[in-house]
Amino acid sequence: MVTTRNQRTISAPAAIEGVGYWSGQDVRVEFRPTAAGSGIAFVRRDLPGCPRIPAVIEHRVETPRRTTLRLGKASVEMIEHIMAALAGLGIDNCELWVDRPEMPGCDGSCLPFVEILRAGGVVEQDAPRPQLVIDRVIRLGDQESWIEARPCSSGKRILRYELDYGSGSPIGRQSLEISLSPRHFHINLAPSRTFVLESEAAEIKARGLGRRTTFRDLLVFGPTGPIDNQLRFPDECVRHKMVDMVGDLALAGCDLVGRFVAYRSGHRLNGELVRAIIAGIENENQLKHCA
């Protein structure tokens, strides 16, 4: 690992309240500044002992359509938008005190989190931020969906996503490539919202989930486009897929430097890529210790 910048935390505590998409529960999230080297962590203040769950890949567990962390009996879910907001703004150390397991859905984007964090301010800390530079190609998935990490000669983090659900989908083929920076993330990615098809939304409701979520709280696509809503970008769906990538890749616990390309990838493949990257570094370290 190398370092090129100092770590950052928030200047002052901040809070946001909302409703969980899946559970329909009211939830409050309090962002608290922490010392350098603390990392990002969720604290379940509603549970005995206020268990702390570090936001790292080893605590990720598989759940449909969202990213979940679990440590012991404590868990937090739907964390990808909050993680994307923190990572997109370059905030490395922060505790999130929550009173429910599911994070608020807000308007389906991570913009509400970005705005409250920016309003409170970000402060640089006197400690270097570790970077992990991708030095080989790592590819996971199959022909239907895949994700890969590869070296990037510019020394930046380049993201590319290709979205293609076929000719019969109301969501057209979209692709986007960006060089990630806090300003670019705030303006071009953060406002993009999560999306589902009308048939998927009906299935979720039939399972007794999402009862407090309306068509205005996210993008629900019918045969001719969004229902009771309007797009913020012509390619809003691919932009939101990039938001999910940013949030999921943040579970590496360091700045990843490289080129990350995905085709129809979701939370599962995103998480598997982070595991593969971290496992490769751990294996290298073990070999060095044995040499």
- Catalytic positions, please? 267
Query: Which residues make beta-bridge pairs with 62?
Result: 67
Instruction: Quote the radius of gyration of the chain (alpha carbons, Å).
Output: 19
Task: Please name the amino acid found at residue 161.
Answer: Y
State the Cα–Cα distance between residues 47 and 59, nearest whole angstrom.
18
Question: What is the CB neighbour count within 10 angstroms for residue 178?
Answer: 17
Tokens of 149: 């990490």
User: CA 200 → CA 89, 212, 221, distances in Å?
Assistant: 32, 16, 9
Question: What is the CB neighbour count within 10 angstroms for residue 111?
Answer: 20
Cβ atoms of 260 and 148 within 8 Å: the answer is: yes
Task: Please name the amino acid found at residue 125.
Answer: Q
Question: What is the CB neighbour count within 10 angstroms for residue 279?
Answer: 12
State the Cα–Cα distance between residues 17 and 1, nearest whole angstrom.
37
Tokens of 219: 């993008």
Tokens of 65: 């359509």
By DSSP bridging, strand 138-141 and strand 225-226 are unpaired
Cβ atoms of 87 and 189 within 8 Å: the answer is: no
State the Cα–Cα distance between residues 7 and 131, nearest whole angstrom.
11
State the Cα–Cα distance between residues 35 and 64, nearest whole angstrom.
33
